[in-house]
Chains A and B, each alone.
Chain A
Amino acid sequence: MSAPKARPVQYVIVGSGIAGLAAAETLRTRQPQAPITMISEEPHNFYSRPGLAYLLRGDIPEKQLFIRTRDDLRGLNLQRIHARVTHLACDRRELVLANGQRVPYDRLLLAPGAQATRPPFIRDDLSGQVKIDSLDDTRHILQLARRGKTAVVVGGGITALELAEGLAARRLRVHYFLRGARYWSDVLDEEESHIVMARLEQEGVHIHTNTQVKQLHGAAGRLTGVETEAGAVIPAELLAYAIGVRPRVELARAAGLAVDKGIVVNSFLETSQPGVFAAGDAAQVGSTPLDVLWPTALHQGRVAGANLAGEKVGYVRAVACNVTQLTGLKVTIIGSVGGGKGSGKDADTVAIVRGDSESWRLAPRAAVLADRHDVNRVRLFVGERHIVGALVMGEQTWSRPLQRLIAAGADILPVRAALLGPAATAFPALAQFYQQWEQRGAGAPPGRG
């Protein structure tokens, strides 16, 4: 039953996104000699997946996306296999690849990521329908963008906006379909949505609110137009979609692992099968909602790498913090934030405080070069004793202090009354509170100097 003891432990990682890479690097520091195999459908070396939007827009050349040098890769010493895994047999502790090859493992990490949800109107018989999951997808879009003149973009979140902006930067005429009346209404409030939409239109994007795709038109195997539910047909050679992502759970499900929205793992990121771990976009820690965010995948990858090596490192979910750029505006979203009228998503929120970052008068040690921002908005979600969420748009002076206060669960009772008062006094009071809080060392992470 037991394997011969002389054989070294075989580590296998499925997936080469940031979770897979972080796990491999962490594992390598613990196990300098052990054989580590990484299997991935990705033909390219490690690259920054969020950077694809900037490649599309033309901010960086492709080679800039690669995040590891040849020396780094030599040091990491992975056996890379470019293949699709078709089967996981936990009882035999082996993976079966599309070409029939069998790869044995002792400890396995599943980090297959997530992929763009396929909208129902997508047609298999037409070219010109694109998503942006990978570098190859982005190359494909760029190739089509050179030939095409008009694009339709569908989706209500960050990725769809990046597609619309990227295609507009590539000089396509872009029609952006929004299902509702405004952009990203789950997170942004009405004014924030309209700021983004106005800027997007300035960039030349045509926004169609309350618009959904009914069907696609094509000829000779190519997309020729997009028909809306209202019956209008917009001629287009390109349709880009980003309506959401779906964790890749098929392999785990077929292998009999516990799967809910993602592959279910415990706080050590171990699946229902001992010795098999999961991390990143495809992993679901207990019953908590999925955090399909790059920093989360990085964090989980590091934890999983240590646990693959036999340690017992618990994954503690950090306060969600997502930073993005919407129409050139930096937007930081921390913790629980809702865009609905007057309410946060989180039941703990008792009040929403709005202000602008110009109210920051007591800058902490860190300073910002005084580039003028035409937009500076801060929206706080204030609970009984804590700030539970914040959205900072434009000028980012507030984002780091708020991130620290929220992550530490700072008790804001001393400043709560001021916070709920007029914005003109609320934010200066909070700035002063924050400075004193930092001076007390209240925000210092435990166990560090």
Chain B
Amino acid sequence: MFSRQELLANGRVVPDATRCVQCGICSYNCPIGIDVRAHAWRGQAVNSSYCLTCGECVKRCPRGVLGFECVPPLGAGGARKEPR
């Protein structure tokens, strides 16, 4: 398991498109206005560098579509968050 701190620092939001019904609760609750629903439609991780990984969308999604995936930080040999 990853700690909350690790997830906030290095996590990104990943959707499971097969569960999504496009209700839009995620986008509505994103404090910086990322259209998370559109990502879920395409099955794409939220790679926006503006994403705060605050977890509002993950927490509020009524269907458990969204989860966090831990991306290893820079220098740890892993992928990095893509800008935008």
Chain A interface (Cβ within 8 Å of chain B)?
Answer: 18, 48-51, 54, 59-61, 64-65, 67, 294-295, 318, 321, 323-325, 330, 332, 363, 365-371, 396, 399-400, 403
Chain B residue at smallest Cβ distance from A323:
B63
Q: Is the CB of B59 within 8 A of A371?
A: yes
Q: Is the CB of B16 within 8 A of A64?
A: no
Q: Is the CB of A321 within 8 A of B21?
A: no
Complex CA–CA separation, A48 to B28 (angstroms): 14
Interchain CB contact (< 8 A) of A60 among B16, B28, B69: B28
Q: Is the CB of A369 within 8 A of B58?
A: yes
Q: How far is the CB of A418 from chain B (nearest CB, A)?
A: 22
Size class of B's contact patch?
Answer: 20 to 34
Contacts of B18 in A (CB 8 A): 295, 318, 321, 403
Could you give 27 example pairs across A and B, Cβ below 8 Å?
A48-B22, A51-B22, A51-B24, A51-B25, A54-B25, A54-B62, A59-B25, A60-B23, A60-B25, A65-B24, A67-B24, A67-B37, A67-B41, A295-B18, A295-B19, A318-B18, A324-B62, A325-B62, A332-B19, A363-B1, A367-B2, A367-B11, A367-B68, A369-B55, A371-B59, A400-B16, A400-B67
Interchain CB contact (< 8 A) of A330 among B2, B25, B63: B63
Contacts of A67 in B (CB 8 A): 22, 24, 37, 41
Chain B interface (Cβ within 8 Å of chain A)?
Answer: 1-2, 4, 7, 11, 14, 16, 18-19, 21-25, 27-28, 37, 41, 55, 58-60, 62-65, 67-70
Contacts of A18 in B (CB 8 A): 22
Q: Is the CB of A64 within 8 A of B67?
A: no
Known: A323-B19, A323-B64, A325-B62. A366 touches B69 (CB 8 A): yes
Contacts of A64 in B (CB 8 A): 23-25, 27-28
Contacts of B37 in A (CB 8 A): 67
Q: Is the CB of B69 within 8 A of A365?
A: yes
Q: Which of B28, B69, B70 has the most CB of A within 10 A?
A: B28
Q: Is the CB of A48 within 8 A of B67?
A: no
Complex CA–CA separation, A403 to B11 (angstroms): 23
Chain B residue at smallest Cβ distance from A362:
B1
Q: How far is the CB of B17 from chain A (nearest CB, A)?
A: 9
Contacts of A403 in B (CB 8 A): 18
Contacts of A370 in B (CB 8 A): 1, 4
Complex CA–CA separation, A324 to B7 (angstroms): 26
Complex CA–CA separation, A403 to B24 (angstroms): 23
Chain B residue at smallest Cβ distance from A59:
B25
Contacts of A60 in B (CB 8 A): 23-25, 28
Complex CA–CA separation, A370 to B23 (angstroms): 24
Contacts of B11 in A (CB 8 A): 367
Complex CA–CA separation, A368 to B66 (angstroms): 9
Q: Is the CB of B7 within 8 A of A369?
A: yes
Closest 3 interchain pairs by CB? A51-B23, A50-B21, A325-B62
